[in-house]
Amino acid sequence: MESLKYRNRLKRYLRFPLYMLIIFLVGCIAVSFVDTKIAGIMMAFVFVYGIVCYIYYKANLKSFKNTIIEYAVHYGTVQKELIKNFRLPYVLLDSTGRIMWMNKEFCQLFDKDNTYSKSITTIFSEITREGIEHAKDDSFDIHIEYEDRKYLASLQRLDMTEPLTGSGLVPNIDEPADGLVSIILFDETDIQETKAKISDQAMVVSLLYVDNYDEVFDSVENSKRSMLLALLDRKINKYFGDADAMVRRLEKDKYLIIFQNQYLENFENDKFSLVEDITAIKMGNDKDITISIGVGLGSDSYIQKAQYAHMAIDLALARGGCQTVVKNGQNVSYYGTHGKEVERTTRVKARVKAQALRELMETRERIIVMGHNLSDADCLGASVGVYCAGREIGKPVNIVIDTITSSMRPVVESFTEKPEYPDDMFITSEQALNLCNDNTLIMVVDTNRPSYVECPGLLFRNKNIVVIDHHRQVEEIIENPILSYIEPYASSASEMIAEVLQYFADKIDINPTEADCIYAGILIDTNNFMTKTGVRTFEAAAFLRRNGAEVTRVRKMLRENMEAYKARAEVVRNATTFRGVFAISECEPDGQLESPTIVGAQAANELLNIVGIKASFVLTRYMDKVFISSRSIDEIDVQSIMTRLGGGGHVNIAGAQIQNCTIEEVRKDLEETIDKMLEEGEIKL
């Protein structure tokens, strides 16, 4: 089409003098109306002009064409020589990938001659026919290697409208082709080596914190403290010294470590074994020393890397400590002692958070508290605790619950049936959105993931958000809360709220109904004080008992109906073992169960009572999702398993919610995940 356009333009240019005859004739006709004699003379001159132009056009047309052809041939020859002597390797392929022509540089580089017409795949296995097909639609780059050299092959489609046969560029053409693919090779060996060298020498910032420094050193005799500290320093310096790292102590329990990026892979392959090795240090200390490491990289800015390291160490501590978190830009990796969490006996943090929470609540007109969807006893207990705090300072508190399950209905009715509690104590998500304004405090309890909250829309109404949770953090978190209190070693959110209430006021008013509700949250999440129960758990329970909590009332309140009991027994009966130590079962609600997810969680607890079972998983299909309840006693970190499936939780209690999948698909994914983690060493049997 382009050649046809230029050909027509050339014809118009050559015939332009003949076209002028029309203008002259029109002029003669116009003059004839004024003076016929002058018009006749003009017509004679126009006639002579036309004859001269025609004779000249006919006489020189062949010569003019020959001149154009000679220029085109010369121009094509120049192009051919330029391409042939092009310093970059250049080759033309047909649509099947067969070599049709190559320049001198390509021939010399790969020791081929112009008659070589085999497929390009015989030289570069990376360039496949699929890649050539892709290049037909657009340019396409492929990184290839040949004899220790690295090249960037740029494939480009050439849209040929006319055959190239006889042009001299493609002697191997057997028949006209409707398209060609050109390949230009760029040698990027030196560039890649330089990039790799720069990447290897890039600085990696790490922060190492001793999780329980005060607890350990306070329990050691004064004469042995210096020796214990020397052993700790030696262990840290030796481990990172092999990587030519700079180790500096910032405070008594904090270290700054800087090393080159080339050593990070070795640390990751070693899974930062220092975290486990440190626990073996003994010098009169009864408790194991545990450390957390935060590693930051993935930025050209040193300041950004340091910020990543701080974010990583904060995440490690929020997950319970005794582990390593590597933050590479937006990607986060976890290493450590398979989810071991460090219990802290001090309640200083609870006191500080309680004071900060009171200041925030006093400056707001209203408090809206919500937990995760399908609220359980712990979620409701923590919410009621916040209600008690708001009542103490005279602020209205609304608890968001959209679905009241059968197991939670007796707890909720214990408040709604009493006149001393307002009608809007429990509200729906729609009501919460209408009540929320810029002067409202949003409190999220028993979850730190925005996709799990009862009303996600509240998180976008204002930025006054407080998070109180006992689950370990994952990549998905509530962004920029004004107050965050996350303690993975706590047994439940109700325990954390009970501690906060003790410091919220000198003597806070909690009636027996409220104490029962908070106590029930602790009771459920600890499986009757058998799971994740520490000193502070019993202290919180004792505080609630002093405020009127009664175990008998709580037990009656948490009783289940016959259908739920039978369903739980059926789930346990149908359980199967996987790899000899994992119990997996399915809970299929038949329409009579109002809270199948609660039944699944209870069945998961029951399965741990079977000899030889180290972890249990119950899959429940409910509300277009598949819920996974996972439990373990001490050897298996079920939270790491659930994290890979998009969930989270605790080391021994975790779960996940999966959409758009069947139970069979989720079960297959679960088994494949367990197998993969066993192969990688993340799970040790």
Determine which of 62-71, 231-240, 666-675 has the lowest per-residue pLDDT on average: 62-71
Cα distances from 70 to residues 65, 79, 167, in angstroms, run 8, 14, 14
Beta strands in 236-360 (DSSP E): 246-251, 254-260, 291-297, 323-328, 331-336
- Cβ atoms of 85 and 103 within 8 Å: the answer is yes
Instruction: Collect all residues with Cβ–Cβ distance below 8 Å to 391 and sequence separation of at least 6.
Output: 397, 509
Beta strands 180-187; 90-93: pairing state: antiparallel
Nearest to 234 by CA among 273, 274, 293, 180: 274
Percentage above 90 pLDDT, the chain: 27
Whether pLDDT at 332 is above 60? yes
CATH code, residues 86-195: 3.30.450.20
| 314 vs 669 pLDDT, higher one | 669
Cα distances from 646 to residues 347, 476, 605, 626, in angstroms, run 32, 9, 21, 12
CATH superfamily of 201-336: Reverse transcriptase/Diguanylate cyclase domain (3.30.70.270)
Predicted confidence band at 585 (pLDDT cuts at 50, 70, 90)? Answer: very high
Averaged pLDDT for residues 115-144: 73
Whether pLDDT at 461 is above 80? yes
Alpha-carbon span 344 to 402, nearest angstrom: 35
Q: What is the pLDDT of residue 467?
A: 93
Q: Where does residue 544 fall: left (phi above 0), alpha (psi -120 to 50 degrees), or beta otherwise?
A: alpha
Q: Where does residue 534 fall: left (phi above 0), alpha (psi -120 to 50 degrees), or beta otherwise?
A: beta
Whether pLDDT at 401 is above 80? yes
Nearest to 508 by CA among 323, 361, 322, 288: 361
Nearest to 513 by CA among 395, 367, 381: 381
Percentage above 70 pLDDT, the chain: 87
Highest mean pLDDT among 70-74, 399-403, 506-510 belongs to: 399-403
Q: What is the pLDDT of residue 166?
A: 43
Cα distances from 431 to residues 368, 373, 399, in angstroms, run 11, 16, 10
Domain range summary for the chain, segments of one domain joined by +? 2-83, 86-195, 201-336, 348-557, 564-680
Q: What is the pLDDT of residue 346?
A: 62
**Domains 201-336 and 564-680 are alike in CATH topology:** no
Alpha-carbon span 384 to 390, nearest angstrom: 10
Determine which of 44-58, 251-265, 354-368 has the lowest per-residue pLDDT on average: 44-58
- Cβ atoms of 591 and 579 within 8 Å: the answer is no
Alpha-carbon span 552 to 584, nearest angstrom: 33
Alpha-carbon span 652 to 548, nearest angstrom: 30
Whether pLDDT at 313 is above 80? yes
Alpha-carbon span 653 to 667, nearest angstrom: 18
Beta strands 625-632; 615-622: pairing state: antiparallel
Q: What is the pLDDT of residue 174?
A: 46
Highest mean pLDDT among 23-32, 336-345, 367-376 belongs to: 367-376
From first CA to last CA, the distance across the chain in angstroms is: 72
Alpha-carbon span 583 to 630, nearest angstrom: 10
Alpha-carbon span 511 to 519, nearest angstrom: 12
Can you state the angle between helices 2-14 and 36-84, rounded to 10 degrees? 140
Q: What is the mean pLDDT of the chain?
A: 82
Beta strands 440-445; 426-427: pairing state: unpaired
Whether pLDDT at 644 is above 80? yes
Q: What is the pLDDT of residue 69?
A: 61
- Cβ atoms of 587 and 596 within 8 Å: the answer is yes
Whether pLDDT at 31 is above 80? no
Alpha-carbon span 428 to 403, nearest angstrom: 9
Whether pLDDT at 440 is above 50? yes
- Cβ atoms of 481 and 467 within 8 Å: the answer is yes
Residue appearing with tokens 């790969």: 110
Averaged pLDDT for residues 223-229: 85
Whether pLDDT at 300 is above 90? no
Q: What is the pLDDT of residue 171?
A: 46
| Phi, psi angle pair for 47, to nearest 5° | -65, -45
Check if CATH label 3.40.50.150 holds for domain 564-680. no
- Cβ atoms of 150 and 144 within 8 Å: the answer is yes
| 408 vs 1 pLDDT, higher one | 408
Query: What type of residue sits at position 327?
Result: K
Q: What is the pLDDT of residue 176?
A: 41
Classify 394 as helix, strand or coil: coil
- Cβ atoms of 433 and 440 within 8 Å: the answer is no
**SS3 of the chain: helix, strand, coil, percent, to 5:** 45, 20, 35
Which residues, in sequence order, are bridge partners of residue 397? 367
Check if CATH label 3.90.1640.10 holds for domain 348-557. yes
Residue 78: count other Cβ atoms within 10 Å of its Cβ. 10
- Cβ atoms of 155 and 132 within 8 Å: the answer is yes
Whether pLDDT at 1 is above 80? no
Which residues, in sequence order, are bridge partners of residue 617? 584, 630
Alpha-carbon span 145 to 153, nearest angstrom: 10
